[in-house]
Amino acid sequence: MALHYEDSQLEIHRFVVGPVANNVFVLRCKASGDALLIDAANEHELLLEVCRDLGVRRVLETHGHWDHIQAVPALRDAGYEVSVTGADSAMLPSYDLILDDDQEVTVGRVRLRTILTPGHTPGSMCFSVVGSPILLSGDTLFPGGPGNTKTDLGDFDLIIESIDRRIFRRFGDDTLVLPGHGNDTTLGLERPHLDEWIARGW
């Protein structure tokens, strides 16, 4: 499979799907073999195969934009539970559970913390892995700046506040950022450019 990252407690597999090259990540606990999937974006037949092969038990959505949710109905029909924030829940065709801020999500022995980071959408959420230097940022933070806020639901000032207060001030420079599209980055690479992003306005 598409192994992207590995340490003593987990494997992370990455799959790039759909017309706008969405990253779909599967986090798999080494101890139990159980896994969860981040963003059921597109290509549902591939994702269903991935879920079966890697032991996926549930799906977490970083936000409700169309390109991140196309495979949600198919995965729910196959019995996989889908979770999303309350603020973005109406954007999904269907879902099972609401994710709150600072909530613990477990997969086997691996623990994730939810971090509400509004701005790209009202209910955008990042996930940090406890005990591993990993932040799954959805479309909140990319290499080179914040996600797009020039939409009806976007709020540039709010995404900057989310990135500064909820990410930069909480996590170290070695934190590996796995975004919803494109390549990885680290907080050490992005943190020095916050003022540049504010100045340019996007």
The CATH code of the domain that includes 47 is 3.60.15.10
Pairing status of strand 35-38 against strand 56-60 = parallel
- Number of domains the chain contains: 1
Confidence of residue 1 (pLDDT cuts 50, 70, 90): low
pTM over 0.75: yes
Which residue shows structure tokens 């209910």? 123
Instruction: Dump pLDDT digits (tens) for 120-155.
Output: 999 999 999 999 999 999 999 999 999 999 999 999
Distance CA 57, CA 72 (A): 14
Burial class (CB in 10 A: 0-12, 13-18, 19+), 179: buried
Q: Which residues contact 61 (CB under 8 A, 6 or more apart)?
A: 38, 39, 40, 68, 69, 72, 82, 83, 84, 85, 88, 92, 95, 125
Instruction: Dump pLDDT digits (tens) for 87-107.
Output: 999 999 999 999 999 999 999
Domain, as residue range, for 37? 3-200
Using DSSP's 3-state secondary structure scheme, residue 143 falls into coil
Mean pLDDT within 9-27: 98
